[in-house]
Amino acid sequence: MLSSDPQWFRAVLVEQVSGAGGQQLSLLYVDFGNIDTIDVSQVRKMLPDFVSGVPALVNSLEIRNFPNNPSEDQLRNALEHLQLTEDGRGTLRFTRCVKEHDGLYTVDAPALITAMNST
């Protein structure tokens, strides 16, 4: 469920904020692609009927050559390159998409990497 919406949504766990035992979770909503932080008490296990036959619209992409520890400048440049809207939507052009396994792909995004490293 989104913290601002009482409906239920499909999501995957990104991280437990403050580590194991933390009361906040960061979730990726699979049908929308946004990330939100909510209280653990708002999360329920998805029933198989809720997910079978309804494909997720989000896949995980690993961007080849993306820096392990990007600087603040690199992250700012990346956000500018993606031209994010106020609701967090943007566009990433990529090439050479390789399926690693279901839901995970490795891609090249040369324009993004170039933009990140521009001064």
pTM of the model: 0.56
Phi, psi (degrees; rounded to nearest 5) at 38 = -135, 170
Considering only CA atoms, give the Rg of the chain: 16
Give the C-alpha distances (Å, rounded to integers) separating 61 from 35, 45, 58, 97, 117: 15, 24, 9, 9, 20
pLDDT tens digits in sequence order for the chain, 119 residues long: 445 666 778 887 888 888 788 889 988 887 777 788 989 988 888 777 766 776 666 567 899 999 999 999 999 999 999 998 877 778 889 999 998 877 688 999 999 999 999 87
- Give the residue extent of every domain in the chain: 11-51, 60-116
Angstrom distance (rounded) from CA 44 to CA 27: 12
CB 9 within 8 A of CB 31: yes
